[in-house]
Each structure stands twice: as C-alpha cells, then as structure tokens.
Amino acid sequence: MLTPDRIVPTTCPYCGVGCQIDLHIKNEMVYRVDGRFDNNVNNGKLCVKGRFGYDYIHAPDRLTRPLLKGDQVSGVRSTHHPTSWENALDTVATRLRETREKYGPDSIAILTSAKCTNEENYLLQKFARAVIGTNNVDHCARL
C-alpha cells in the first residue's frame, strides 16, 4: 500500500450533500479517496462517485483555463480561445450588463448546480436578485 506524501481533507465536489473526504496524494497525484469519520454528514461513507470518480483530476484534456468563443476574440464562430480569468470575468460582466440594459433584468436567468455548495447556490440567487434584479433562478436538481 502506498504511503501518501500528504492527506488533504476536503469536501466531495459532486453534490450538495457535502460528504467529507480525505485526498491521498503522492507525487502531486491524487491516488485514493476515503470518507472522513469526524463529521455528521457522511460518517466515513461515500457513494461510488464520491469514492472513485476522480480520474478527471489528472486527465490530460481537462480544461484548466477559461475559453471564450471565437466571435468574441476574432470574429470566427464556433471555435474557442484560451483566455485569462480576468478577461473571462470581464467579458461575462460586460455581456450581462449589456443584456440587462438592452432587454431588462428578466431577460437573464441564473441556473445553478447541485455540484455547488449551499453557500455558492445562496450567493448565486443573491446575485440574481440583488445585482441583476431578476427572480429567474433555477437549479438542476429541481427536476
């Protein structure tokens, strides 16, 4: 059995249950995930995704940078170009502002995700209502 270089406690990224996990790391690679017992959420137990679904962390084709559609950079559609987080966030903010000014706040809807934490979902609905000015908020788990 491998001895980890370090064990990092964190929260499973797959759903809002928020199971607590330990990432076992060797040579900067996650090679094992265990459920943590020091909590009242999962008491050491994990579903199959939470225990084994981490190959994507080291996948060579994983997206690691934001991408902008080509028409926002060079006028070419349906291609994507890597960009900085600052530029990506500026672009999103500009587009949201332009859309709200042109079509009104209810032309925008915010779709959140079960992969977000409760806190992140709370912030997204707050952003929709207090910043954008719309109650168009929904969540993929509602279905």
Positions touching ligand SF4 (CB under 6 A) are 12, 14-15, 17-19, 42, 46-47, 49-50
Tokens of 38: 């020091």
The residue whose Cβ lies closest to ligand SF4 is 50
- Residue 42 or 121: which CB sits closer to ligand SF4? 42
> Min. distance of Cβ 23 from ligand SF4 in angstroms?
13
Report CA torsion sign: 108, 13, 114, 62: positive
> Min. distance of Cβ 11 from ligand SF4 in angstroms?
7
10 phi and psi, to 5 degrees?
-160, -170
- Residue 50 or 110: which CB sits closer to ligand SF4? 50
- Residue 54 or 132: which CB sits closer to ligand SF4? 54
Q: What distance in Å separates the CA atoms of residue 141 and residue 136, rounded to the nearest whole number? A: 16
- Residue 17 or 131: which CB sits closer to ligand SF4? 17
Say which residue the tokens 């270089």 belong to: 5
Contact 65, 83 (CB under 8 A): yes
Q: What distance in Å separates the CA atoms of residue 128 and residue 107, rounded to the nearest whole number? A: 11
At position 40, the amino acid (one-letter code) is N
> Min. distance of Cβ 33 from ligand SF4 in angstroms?
9
> Min. distance of Cβ 4 from ligand SF4 in angstroms?
20
